[in-house]
Amino acid sequence: MNKERVVAPEKMFPEVPEKIFLFRSCTGSMEYPGTENAIKEVAKILGIEIVMDPDQTCCSGYLLTCSAYKPEFSLAVTARNLSIVEKHGLDTYMFCNGCQGYNLELAHIMHEHPEYKQMANDVIAKQGYHYEGKTDIRHVQEIWYRLKDEIAARVVRPLTGLKVASHYGCHYLAIQYGILDDAGYPTFHEEIYSALGATPVFYKERQMCCGYSVGRGFTHKETLVQPHLYKKFKSAKEAGVELMTTTCPGCNTALDREQPNLTKRYEEEFGIPVIDISQLIGLALGVPLEKLGFDANTIKMDGILKKLGIGKGDSDDN
Amino acid sequence: MTTNLDKKALVVGAGLAGMEAAIKIGQAGYEVYLVEKENTMGGVTGQLFSSFPRWENPRELVDNRIQTINQIEKIRVLTTTTVQSARREGEAFVVDLQKADGQVEQVAADAVVLATGFELMDVSVYGEYGYGIYPNVVNSLEFEDKLREWSAAGSKADRPKSIAFFKCVGSRDRSKGNPYCSKICCMYTAKQAGLTKDLLPEAKAYVFYMDYRAAGKEYEEFVRSVIETKHVRYVRGRPSKVLPENGRLVVRAEDTLMGVPIEVEVDMVVLASAIVPREGTRVLAGMFGALTDQYGFIENVPFELRQTGNGVFFAGACGFAVETAGAQAQGAAAAADVVALFNRVPQGVK
Amino acid sequence: MAMVDYYRPLRLNQIDSSLQEEIKRTCGVDVELCLECGKCTGGCSNAHIFDLTPRKIVQLVKLGDEKRLLNMDSLWTCVSCQLCVDRCPSHIDIPRIMDYMREKARKKNVRAQRESIEIFHELMLDSIRKTGRVAEAPLALKHNLRTRQYFKDAELGGRMFFKGKLNPLSPKVKNVKQVKDLFAQTIDKKEG
């Protein structure tokens, strides 16, 4: 089972797509608009065209795990969103582990149970949509990993000496088919850091969950999320981590926004900025700082940029 | 009754089972080719530091068998030799044997005994256990070498202070491993943990288990003695993760008797890896028309326990995981089948 | 939270397997595959704060103790990190059981022990109903108001507000009417 689940990037993309549909993440686009920007900029550099659609809604996965009021709703939402992508004739690329996981799961359910697909299609037909099940659901990090060597060749701001560590996010590694690695001992983020010239750090609690899933960041912040994150950051600090990346805006929110609360509660400063891996790639590829949107971060990137000798206004070389 | 002492047998694999088969067929007066791909006889048994349930030195057993083989004129030992191809000619086989120097020798055999043994599953698929990532995560055969090393005189400075043993790594696992129980791990893990306490009295030994299976003569008493007199700590739960911490390793698991998550700091993790058939066994089975099961172990024909094809027999762990005594007994049983075949007389109606 | 009386011996022949069969039928999860090894709980992100750990949850399904499952705090402290199913040697999808039991708790109107969970879910649904998207900032503010934690996150939220980090007016989906329509046809639809 494991073997079919983990797929080599070359097998995942025999050919790199020229054009992709970027699925907007609610949390990602509102909390850290820099992520979406960075993806667009990096894609531009790599020659991949990005298509988006203002009628795409929330993936509704949040609702499903919260308590699944009615699965029919989530099925209809998924069918509607994916039918929008299918109108463009493209594959769907997420930058949120949650969006990817839920869309995949619901698409899988509709694929396996035509009666559910029919039910969803009946609902969305009144709005003029029809979902076929043709669009493939992927995460943008998969393309970045596939193009790791190309990215390495285009680095204009090498991240030499920067100690970067990953927070993979549970919901990507938990996907049951066609992923880059499972939750055993993934290394594909660390390989990307190396391609950017940075030093990957494997800290002890590397795979510990961010705790924010299913709304726990709202409902169990003190009892659950903070003790959790404290343990995680403590091990990262001990390992000398300077910067952390995510591939899920929910995780990013938890890891970044909660740090001041941790400091207040545990009287310990961590000061580890947390950004999306696409922002890190954008930084190394020379995307102008104002486009990367680091201002949205609670834990500032200033120290990192200073260390790398990158100042404001110091954009790329072209 | 006719006895045709011109008949010849080919035994593939000179581990304990193969050696035993060769000895018994040779002692009955038939010529035997005993083919071994390694440069010495003894197989896995020869690599072991100690055996259960009597703490014996397996080397003594292996040396005794080698000595016996050397005294039997009819046995021709061919080490560093592999079976390249085989074809059936009438009731017999014509087999090409490839030697270390590349030379190919053709031999004829009237019966074949497959005794190719087993290998340990590659447990690096369990990223959570860190085999192949952390140097101090070893499999159970690698740990036998460690025991030998610790039994020798020398500096004791770098010896572990705490060791965790994980059972069922790749066994009893439908998702990444094999659904079957590998049968011998409960016993050898008890042995290894007990020896750890003997050789490193200061060290702590933790055995993570789902249950311990000790069905055999003196087996239950053996495991109990490891717990009660050697004070190995048995923890009921299957570990979930191995993490590096300050140069040591932390094991995360649940104590399922209490229902609480636990952690333990150790210096070494020993994985009782699943017993799987060798890839070469499948190839050999194809050459000789032997039956294999869904996993690639050799399978017997109905009602005949050691026979797997016409004139083809098997013994030892190529059929399924087996302890040393069982391997030896199967070798003898396969030899009995071969000798019976060579001496077959027409059976009339009673 | 006295559910089944565990002080007296549990008489197994009074237990039926209807919950187990229901979960197999509706979720496709077969708890009989459980090897009782506890690898799920050892890997669980939150087992240390669970009132019932993943292995015990599987066992409770076998025991048919629906009442305890619907009332357990773990139902709401599980973060769906999926590590339990990832580690499980039998690949038992425990998060799926949790989803199902959460859904069932809603249907049966079993209120979570912590009020804030209920409020959060209402607000989340409301946000999507009105805008088609989930916006964390207004959600956080409303959540804190409704749970009477007036000053929680105030400093943080305020700071972010003035720097324009959290957009207090959550951007809507272009055609919100379609979202409302989806609600009308599914969630708000009267049964029968």
**What residue numbers bound the domain in which A266 lies?**
154-308
- DSSP secondary structure code for residue A169 in this structure: -
- The shortest C-alpha distance from A159 to chain B (Å) reads 25
pLDDT of residue B292: 97
Pair (B336, B316) in one structural domain: yes
Judged by CB atoms closer than 8 Å, whether chains meet at A30 and C166 is answered as: yes
Pair (A71, A187) in one structural domain: no
Pair (A169, A217) in one structural domain: yes
Q: Which residue of chain B has the CA closest to C45?
A: B261
Pair (B158, B239) in one structural domain: yes
A-to-C residue pairs, Cβ atoms closer than 8 angstroms:
158
Pair (B317, B241) in one structural domain: no
Q: Which residue has the higher pLDDT, B257 or C119?
A: B257
Q: How many CA atoms lie within 13 A of B266 on its CB side?
A: 27
| Averaged pLDDT for residues A195-200 | 97
Q: Does residue A85 belong to any structural domain of this protein?
A: yes
Query: Does the pTM of the predicted model rise above 0.90?
Result: no
pLDDT of residue A184: 87
Query: Interface of chain A against chain B, CB under 8 Å?
Result: 1-2, 181-186, 202, 204-205
Pair (A166, A66) in one structural domain: no
Q: Does residue B150 belong to any structural domain of this protein?
A: yes
Q: Which residue has the higher pLDDT, A299 or C142?
A: A299
Pair (A116, A158) in one structural domain: no
Pair (B133, B261) in one structural domain: yes
Q: Which residues of chain B have pLDDT under 70?
A: 1-3, 349-350
CATH 2.40.160.40 correct for C12-107: no
Pair (A113, A200) in one structural domain: no
Q: How far apart are CA B50 and CA B57, in angstroms?
A: 5
Pair (A184, A49) in one structural domain: no
- In this structure, how many other beta carbons lie within 10 angstroms of the beta carbon of residue C49? 16
Pair (B271, B283) in one structural domain: no
Pair (B45, B148) in one structural domain: no
Pair (B198, B333) in one structural domain: no
Burial annotation B24-56 (CB, 10 A radius, 16+ → b, else e):
bbbbbebbbbbbbbeeebbbbbbebbbbbbeee
Judged by CB atoms closer than 8 Å, whether chains meet at A127 and C91 is answered as: no
- Looking at A80, A110, A140, which one is the last position of a domain? A140
- Looking at B275, B307, B324, which one is the last position of a domain? B275
Closest CA to A152 of A201, A199, A193, A180: A193
**What residue numbers bound the domain in which B96 lies?**
8-117+278-342
Judged by CB atoms closer than 8 Å, whether chains meet at B175 and A204 is answered as: no
Pair (A182, A228) in one structural domain: yes
Q: Does residue A57 belong to any structural domain of this protein?
A: yes
The amino acid at residue C121 is H
Q: Does residue A77 belong to any structural domain of this protein?
A: yes
- With a cut of 90, say whether residue C189 has pLDDT above it: no
CA–CA–CA angle B15, B19, B25 (5° rounding):
150
Kind plus residue range of the DSSP H or E element containing A274 = strand A274-276
Please report, for the domain that includes residue B331, its CATH number.
3.50.50.60
- Looking at A140, A167, A185, which one is the last position of a domain? A140
Handedness of CA A93, A94, A100, A106 (dihedral sign): negative
Pair (B270, B169) in one structural domain: yes
Mutate: best of B169, B235, B238, partner C, most C CBs <10 A: B238
pLDDT of residue A219: 76
Please report, for the domain that includes residue A28, its CATH number.
1.20.1050.140
Range in A87-96, B269-278, C117-126 the model is least confident about:
C117-126
Nearest Cβ partner for B128 among A184, A202, A205: A184
pLDDT of residue B347: 79
Q: Which residue of chain A has the CA closest to C84?
A: A174
Contacts of residue B140, Cβ cutoff 8 Å, sequence gap at least 6: B120, B185, B188, B189, B192, B270, B271, B272, B273
Pair (B99, B85) in one structural domain: yes
When pLDDT is cut at 50, 70 and 90, the band that residue C143 belongs to is: low
Nearest Cβ partner for A184 among B127, B244, B250: B127
Q: Does residue B2 belong to any structural domain of this protein?
A: no
C108 in contact with chain B, both atoms CB, cutoff 8 A: no
Nearest Cβ partner for C77 among A56, A72, A224: A224
Q: Does residue B64 belong to any structural domain of this protein?
A: yes
- DSSP secondary structure code for residue A223 in this structure: I
φ and ψ at A148, to 5 degrees? -50, -45
Domains in chain C: boundaries: 12-107, 115-185
Pair (B76, B202) in one structural domain: no
Measured N-to-C along each axis, helices A249-257 and A259-266 cross at an angle, to the nearest 10 degrees, of 40
Q: Does residue B349 belong to any structural domain of this protein?
A: no
Kind plus residue range of the DSSP H or E element containing A64 = helix A61-66
Pair (B269, B284) in one structural domain: no
- Using alpha carbons, list the distances in angstroms from residue B5 to A80, B312, B332: 81, 19, 19
Pair (A160, A133) in one structural domain: no
Q: Could you tell me what percentage of chain C is helix, strand and coil, using 3-state DSSP and rounding each to the nearest 5?
A: 55, 0, 45
- DSSP secondary structure code for residue C69 in this structure: H
Range in A67-76, A215-224, A240-249, B156-165 the model is least confident about:
A67-76
Structure tokens at B213: 């299976």
Pair (A121, A166) in one structural domain: no
Instruction: Report whether the peptide linkage leading into residue B53 is cis, meaning its omega lies within 30 degrees of zero.
Output: yes
- Looking at B221, B243, B275, which one is the last position of a domain? B275
Pair (A175, A285) in one structural domain: yes
- With a cut of 60, say whether residue A149 has pLDDT above it: yes
pLDDT of residue B310: 95
Q: What's the distance, CA C1 to chain centroid?
A: 19
Q: Does residue A121 belong to any structural domain of this protein?
A: yes
- Looking at B275, B308, B325, which one is the last position of a domain? B275
Domain count of the fold of chain B: 2
Contacts of residue A94, Cβ cutoff 8 Å, sequence gap at least 6: A23, A25, A100, A103, A137, A138, A139, A140
Pair (B143, B175) in one structural domain: yes
Pair (A119, A173) in one structural domain: no
Domain count of the fold of chain A: 2
Give chain B as a 3 state SS string: CCCCCCCEEEEECCCHHHHHHHHHHHHCCCEEEEECCCCCCCCCHHHCCCCCCCCCCHHHHHHHHHHHHHHCCCEEEECCEEEEEEEEECCEEEEEEEECCCCEEEEEECEEEECCCEEECCHHHCHHHCCCCCCCEEEHHHHHHHHHHHHCCCCCCCCCCEEEEEEEECCCCCCCCCCCCCCCHHHHHHHHHHHHHHHCCCCEEEEEECCCCCCCCCHHHHHHHHHHCCCCEEEECCCCEEEEECCEEEEEEEECCCCEEEEEEECEEEEEECEEECHHHHHHHHHHCCEECCCCCEECCCCCCCEEECCEEECHHHCCCCCHHHHHHHHHHHHHHHHHHHCCCCCCCC
Beta strand B312-314 pairing with B307-309: antiparallel
- With a cut of 80, say whether residue C146 has pLDDT above it: no
When pLDDT is cut at 50, 70 and 90, the band that residue C6 belongs to is: low
pLDDT of residue B132: 95
Give ipTM to 2 decimals.
0.86
Q: Which residue has the higher pLDDT, C132 or B57?
A: B57
- Looking at A113, A140, A167, which one is the last position of a domain? A140
Pair (A99, A239) in one structural domain: no
Q: Does residue B3 belong to any structural domain of this protein?
A: no
Q: How far apart are CA A291 and CA A288, in angstroms?
A: 6
Q: Which residue of chain C has the CA closest to A122?
A: C185
Neighbours of A, requiring at least 3 CB pairs below 8 Å, are: B, C
